[in-house]
Structure 1
Amino acid sequence: MALHSSPGNGVLMPHIHDLGLLKDSLGRWASGQGITRLGSLAACISVAPVAWRFLKAAWTESYSWIRQFFVASVTVPGRDPLNRNVMSWVIANVVQHRGIRSFTATTRVHAGDIVDRAAFLKKKRRVVQYLPHFDTTIFWHGSCLYFVSRPLDSYRASMSDPSYDGIGGEELTIGCLGWSTEPIKKLIQTCQDYADKQAEFFVIIYARDRYGSSWQPKARKPIRQLDSVHFDDTLKATLLADIRNYLDPGTKRLYRGRNMPYRRGYLFYGPPGTGKSSLSTALAGEFGLDLYEVKIPCVASDQDLEQMFMEIPPQCIALLEDVDAIWTDRDSEKDEGQGVTRSSCTLSGLLNVLDGVGSGEGRIVIMTTNKPDRLDSALVRPGRVDLKLMLGNISRKSAEQMFVRMFAPDTASSPTPAKSTHETVGSNGEPALFDLETLHKLALEFASQIPEDTFTPSQLQGFFQLHLNSATEAVANISSWVGRELSRSPPDDDISVVSEEKTS
C-alpha cells in the first residue's frame, strides 16, 4: 500500500486505489476460505483442554507404570532427622544451582547476629527469606539420574509454623532409574556426610514442637568455646576428663562387659545467670553432640516425659532444666502459699526415664537447678548423678579471663594470625593501639575492682556489652558500675552450697 503526502498539511495519506484493493481482499477472505480457517482455529482451541487432560492422564499412567517396573525409591518420613539432612543437601547442591524461579517468601523470625547494639535495639523491618518452592526435582549425581519429590500440601502445612526454615518437615521420596536401591543409599550417605561436615561448626538444639508430639530442631548455634563459660578451671578440667572418658569406645565395652548400664549423669546448680545452660551448649559443641532440651515445668505428665525420652537418640546430651520443679508428696505442705511453680511430672516418673527398665543408654543427662536443696536425695544419688558441679558467682580470676576474651584480637574472623597489638576506640573516638602485655595489665586492673563471688557472669557480660569498643573505657567505668550494682537490693540468697563430688 502506497502512502502519499498531501501538499496542504504534509500528512501522509493512503491512496484511494490502495484502500479499494484492501477492501476487496478482506471481502474475499470473509466470504470464502477465511471463514473456514477461522472455524478450524476455533475448533482446535476448544479441543486443546481435552487433549491436555488426555496427555496428562497418559503421562500419569505411563509414569506410574515406569516407576513400578523401572524405578527404585526410598521414602524418608517428615519428622525423621534424616529428612533435614537430605533436604539440606538437595537445596545446597541441586536447587540453588538451577536458577529456580519459584519461591515462598516468609518473614525471618530469628534475627541474625548484630554487632551494633544500638541497631539491635532499634525497631526496624524484619528480614524476608525466600525458600525454594518445588514438588519434584530431577538431577544427575555421579552416573545415576535421581528424583526427589515432596507433597506440596505437606509443605504448605509446614509453612504455617513460624519457626519453619524451609528445610525438612515434609515426607520425601528419593528415587533413581533401576531396580536397586544401592545408589539411593549412597546418595543418602552423601547427604549425611554433608550434614556432619556442617555440624562441625554448629550445635543443633532440639525441642518439642508446639503440639508436643515430636522433637524438632529449635536452633542451630555456632559452637561456643568452653573458655567463654567462666568457672573454676580445676572443676572444668575434671568435667571434661569425665565426659571424654565416658564417650571413649573402650569405656562402653567395659560397661557392657560387666553388665553395667551405660549412662552418665551430671547436676549443674547455682544462682540464675551463672552459665548452666551455656555450659551444656558448650559441652555439646566440644564433643560434637546434639542437645535435646527438656523444660521440666512445661512437661504435662509422666507419660509425655516417657515418650520424650523414648524418642531421644543415644550419643547426645539430654538437658533437663529446672528439675527442682518436679513434684513429690512432701512438697505440698512446703509449697502451700508460696506460689512455687510445680511440674505435673512426679519424681517416680522422672526416675523411671532416667534408669528404669525401659530407659535408654548411651546418652549424657545433664540436670540443672537454681535450688539444689529442694532436690530429693533419690534423684541425686550415685548412678543417677555421677558428678555435681556448682556454678557460682564470678571470681576475680574469671573476671580477668573474661576481660581478655572480650578485648583480645579476634583470630576467628581474621584469615591472618593475631598481631601483637590490639586496636580499640578510645574515649576521644580515635584508635588506640597497645600490645597484649598492656591488655593483660588492663585486665588485672579491671579484675581488682570486681568484688569476689558477688556478681554472676551474665551481669558482667551485660556490662561488657556497653563497652565492647574500648577496653580502656571498660576499665574506667567498672568502678561506678560496681557501686550502682551493690547499691541495689541484694539477690535472694536461698541457695545452699552443695560440695562438688565425683562418684563412679
Structure 2
Amino acid sequence: MASSFSADVLGGRSLFSPHIHDLGLVRDALERWASGLDITRLGSLAACVSVAPVVWRFLRAAWHESYSWIRQFFVASVTVPGRDPLNRNVMSWVMTNIVQHRGIRSYTARTQVHAADMADRAALLKRKRREVQYLPHFETTFFRYGSCLYFVSRSLDSFHASMNDPSYDGVGGEELTLGCLGWSTEPLKKLIQTCQEYADRQTEFFVIIYARDRYGMSWQPKARKPIRRVDTVHFDDDLKQALLADIRKYLDPSTKRLYQNRSMPYRRGYLFYGPPGTGKSSLSTALAGEFGLDLYEVKIPCVASDQDLEQMFLEIPPQCIVLLEDVDAIWTDRDSEKDESQVVARSSCTLSGLLNVLDGVGSAEGRIVIMTTNKPERLDSALVRPGRVDMRVMLGNISQKSAQQMFVRMFTPDVTSTLLVTNDVYDSTDSDEEASLLEFDTLQELSLEFSSHIPEDTFTPSQLQGFFQLHLNSATEAVANISSWVERELSRSGIDDDISVVSEGKAS
C-alpha cells in the first residue's frame, strides 16, 4: 500500500488534494494559448491600454469645453448668493422635491449635535452614541419640472465650509446657480416663485429663528421650531387679546398705506417685562408663528459695539420680528451709584447706538421690534417713549386661572381641541362625542381642584411646567402631588409658610 501511495503522489495525483488535477488542466490550457498567441497582438493590446487614460482626459476636456459653450449660448441661469434668504428657500424646495425623490447615492455623514448640547458643554463630554446626520452630497443635478429641463449647481467648497458649523442643517448657505435650456429666464423666475410659495407654506407649521453665526459675520438659521400657539403662553387674557389685535392691525396693508400717506414711520415696538421664566421669549416665538414671520434674535449683552449692532440691523429684512433680549444691559454704567453686585451683564453698545438703529435716519421700516427685560425700572425714558415702545406687556407670575388653563392644556387627550377653559354648552348626539365631553368635564373638575392649591402670583409658568413634566402620565397623580410640591417650593424660596393657600375644603 505504501508503494501505491508513493506512486500516486509521484504521478501528480494526491488523495488529499483533489483539485491538483484541475489545476494541471488549467496550466496546460494556458500553455497552449500562449504558444498560439501572436506577440504583435499582445503589443497592440498593451498600447491601447496605455493610450486609454490620454483618450479619457481628452474626451473629458472636450465635454467640459462643449458644456461651457452650450451654457454660454443656449442656457439661461440665475445665481443666488449663499447669504441671501432666498437661497434657503430654493435649496429647501430642491431637497424636498428633487433630491429626496431621485434616490441619491452620495451623502456626507457627520455627527449630529443638538442645540441643547451646544448650550450644555457637559453634555458634549458624555460618553454616548450620537445620531448621524446624512446630508445629500452633490455638485450639479439635472431635473425636469413642468415642461422644462433644469439644473442646479452649488459650490462644494462652501458646502464643506458650512459643515464645520455644528448648527448647520444642510439646507442653504452655499452659492446656487439655477439654469434651464433656452434664452429666456422666465421659467427660472417661475421656478423661484414656486420655491418661495413652498417656503411660505412651511411657515404655517414652523418658525425660523435667526441668529448671528459664531464669527458674528452674518445671520444664519439657528433653529426651526414648530409653531407654538399663543394660548400656551399664560398671562392676562385681556392683555393677550389686546396685543394680538394691535399686531394684527399693524400688519394690515391698509395700516401701512395710512402711515405712508401721513408721512409717519411705519414701525411698531413692544416691551415685554417681568421676572425670569415668565415666558417673554416664548411669547415672542409664539407671535412669530401666529403671524407667519421670521424671528431675528439679538442678545444685547453679546453685541460687541454700536457698529456691530448697526451692521446687524442693516442685514435684517423688513417683514420680520426682531427680538432684543436684556435691553437693560445697555446702560448699566449709568447706574454707577448702585451696588456693582446688582449688575449681571454689561454691553459695549451705547444707548445712542440702540436708539439710532431703532428709529434713526437709516433705520428700516416694516419690522416689529420686541424688547425684553427683567428690570424695567432700569430702562431709560428715552427708550420707552411712545414711538419706540408702543405697548408694554407685563408677564408676571402665574394666577390660579392660568394654572387651571395650563392643567387642561397638559392633560387634554386631543391636542387639537380648544385648550382654554370655557363655559360653552355642547349639543351632541354621537356616543363618541358624548364620551369625550364626559372626559372633558372630569378634566375641568380636576383642573379646579389643582388650581385651588396654587397661590396667586407666586410661581412662574416655567416652575409649574417643571412640575407637569414629572406627572404627564396621570392627571389624578398631578392633583395628588401638587400640594406637597407647593410646600417644598415655598420653603425652598424662603416665602413665608403663612401665605394664603386655598384649602381643600374651600375647593370642595
Q: Any idea what SS the aligned residue of 2:129 has? A: coil
The whole-number CA distance in structure 2 between the counterparts of 1:148 and 1:178 is 15
Determine if contact 1:410/1:418 at 8 Å carries over to the other structure.
no
Residues 1:28 and 2:7 aligned together: no
1:48–1:19 distance in 2 versus 1, CA, 3 Å:
closer
Structure 1 contact 446–478 (Cα < 8 Å) conserved: yes
Of residues 53, 56, 61, the one that matches 1:57 is 61
- Residue 104 of structure 1 aligns to a residue in which SS? strand
Deviations 1:252-281 (A, max 9, x none): 111100000000000000000000000000
- Given that residues 420 and 436 in structure 1 are in contact (C-alpha distance below 8 angstroms), is that contact kept between their aligned partners in structure 2? no
Q: Which residue of 2 aligns with 1:484?
A: 488
Aligned position for 1:128: 132
1:282 to 267, 281, 286: 286
Q: Tell me the residue number matched to 1:457.
A: 461
| 2:246 aligned with 1:273 | no
Structure 2 residue 108 is matched with structure 1 residue 104: yes
Cα deviation, residue 335, structure 1: 5.5
1:149 shift after superposition = 0.4
Letter in 2 for 1:130: Y
Residue 159 in 1 paired to residue 163 in 2? yes
1:307 paired residue number: 311
Report SS of the residue matched to 1:334: coil
**Conserved? CA contact 2:86–2:196, under 8 Å:** yes
Superimposed CA distance per residue, residues 173-207 of structure 1 (whole angstroms, 9 cap, x where no aligned partner):
00111111111111111111111111110111110
- Is 1:75 matched up with 2:79? yes
In 2, Cα distance between the equivalents of 1:8 and 1:412? 80
Give me the whole-angstrom Cα distance separating, in 2, the residues matched to 1:287 and 1:405. 22
SS of equivalent to 2:46:
helix
Code of the aligned partner of 1:285: G
Distance between the aligned counterparts of 2:86 and 2:209, measured in 1?
Answer: 15
Give the equivalent residue in structure 2 for 1:448: 452
Shift, 1:434, TM fit = 6.4
- Where 2:36 maps in the other structure, the secondary structure is helix
Q: How does 1:40-439 map to 2 (within 5 A)?
A: 40-110=44-114, 124-327=128-331, 330-334=334-338, 336=340, 338-412=342-416, 419-421=433-435, 435-439=439-443
Cα distance in 2, alignment partners of residues 79 and 213 from structure 1: 10
Deviation at 1:337, TM superposition (A): 5.5
Q: For residues 178 and 25 of structure 1, what CA distance do their matches in structure 2 show? A: 61
Amino acid at match of 1:331: D
Task: Give the whole-Å Cα distance in 1 for the aligned partners of 2:170 and 2:432.
Answer: 38
The structure in which a higher percent of residues are helix is 2
Distance 1:347 1:50 in 2: 68
- Listed one character per residue, the Cα deviations across residues 119-146 of structure 1 (whole Å, up to 9, x for unaligned) are xxx9742211211100000011111111
1:452-487 CA-to-partner distances (Å, cap 9, x unmatched) read: 000000000000000000000000000000000000
**Matched residues in 1 for 2:15 and 2:137: separation?**
64
Amino acid at match of 1:345: C
- Paired residues of 1:328 and 1:347 also in contact (CA < 8 A): no
> CA–CA distance in 2 between the matches of 1:311 and 1:439?
49
Deviation track 1:385-413 (CA, whole Å, cap 9, x = no partner) reads 00011100000000000000100122449
Is the Cα–Cα contact under 8 Å of residues 6 and 12 in structure 1 kept in the other structure? Answer: no
Q: How many residues align?
A: 462
Displacement of 1:152 in angstroms is 1.2
SS of residue matched to 1:488: helix
For 1:409 and 1:21, the matched residues in 2 are separated by 82
What amino acid is aligned across from residue 159 of structure 1 in structure 2?
A: M
Equivalents in 1 of 2:318, 2:291: separation in Å?
14
Q: What do residues 21-47 of structure 1 show as CA deviations (whole Å, max 9, x unaligned)?
A: 7477245335xx1x2222222111211
Secondary structure in structure 2 of the residue aligned to 1:283:
helix
Cα distance in structure 1, aligned partners of 2:17 and 2:399: 98
In 1, Cα distance between equivalents of 2:257 and 2:53: 68
Counterparts in 2 of 1:453 and 1:51: CA distance versus 1, 3 Å: same
Q: CA deviation at 1:420?
A: 5.0
Equivalent residue of 1:439, what SS? helix
Q: Secondary structure at the match of 1:330?
A: helix
Could you state the TM-score of these two structures normalised by the residue count of structure 1? 0.86
CA distance change for structure 1 residues 43 and 456 in 2, over 3 Å: closer, same or farther? same
Q: Distance in 2 between matches of 1:216 and 1:251?
A: 31
Q: Label 1:411 to 1:392 Cα distance change in 2 as closer, same or farther (>3 A).
A: closer
Q: Which moved more, 1:434-443 or 1:336-345?
A: 336-345
Task: After superposition, give the CA deviation of every residue in 1:254-310 in whole Å (9 maximum; x if it has no partner).
Answer: 110000000000000000000000000011111111100000000000011011111
Task: Give the direction of change, closer, same or farther, for the CA distance of 1:246–1:276 in structure 2 (3 Å limit).
Answer: same
Match of 2:198, SS state, is helix
Contact 2:268/2:387 (CA < 8 Å) preserved in 1?
Answer: yes
Residue in structure 1 matched with residue 4 of structure 2 by the alignment: none
Q: CA deviation at 1:374?
A: 0.6
Q: Which runs of 5+ in 1 are unaligned?
A: 113-121, 423-432, 492-504
Amino acid at match of 1:25: R
> Which amino acid in 2 is paired with 1:451?
P
* Residue aligned with 1:218, SS: strand
Q: Secondary structure at 2:338's aligned position in 1? A: helix
Answer whether contact 1:328 1:346 (CA < 8 A) is retained.
no
Contact 1:148/1:174 (8 A) holds in 2: yes
